[in-house]
Amino acid sequence: GGILDGWPVEALDLAPPGPGGVEVEETVSEEEAELLSSIKITEEAQVEPEGKLIVRSPMVGVFHRRPGPGKEPFVEVGTQVKEGDILGMIEAMKVLTEVRAAEEGIVEQIMVEDGQPVEYGQGLMLIRPLR
């Protein structure tokens, strides 16, 4: 004999009463389903806009566009950068981490303000590669 011998079957039936399960699945309209699937795809793919490179924050911290107060920003929109050039810095727990260009290109957009808190992976700049 099994451990559950003698137990009424209803006590083990975990299915919701009635046809409720089917109705739940039908509450998502076709438009919503399309929207949800398109959102999932964009999140997974992290598609960069038309061949451009998004420079992302390597950590949570405060983004700095300049090496110090009153100094010129590292780069501006239109600045041509080489691989390894400093684009800005992230300050976390009084430590500054340089954000460097991954490849040669032109800075097309600066997506965050100087002194703005940023999240890990947040877009900081948009660079059009020169290749």
Domain ranges of the chain: 9-45, 49-129
CA distance 128 to 13: 59
pLDDT on residue 121:
95
What would the pLDDT profile of 73-129 be if each residue is shown by its tens digit? 999 999 999 999 999 999 999 999 999 999 999 999 999 999 999 999 999 999 999
pLDDT on residue 114:
95
C-alpha distance from residue 37 to each of 44, 73, 79 (Å): 11, 40, 38
pLDDT on residue 50:
79
CB 22 within 8 A of CB 90: no
pLDDT on residue 36:
58
Closest CA to 89 of 111, 117, 118, 67: 67
Dihedral pair phi/psi, residue 84, rounded to 5°: 95, -10
Is it true that domain 49-129 has CATH number 3.90.650.10?
no
What would the pLDDT profile of 4-62 be if each residue is shown by its tens digit? 666 555 555 555 555 544 444 445 566 666 665 554 443 333 446 778 899 999 999 99
Closest CA to 121 of 52, 61, 56: 56
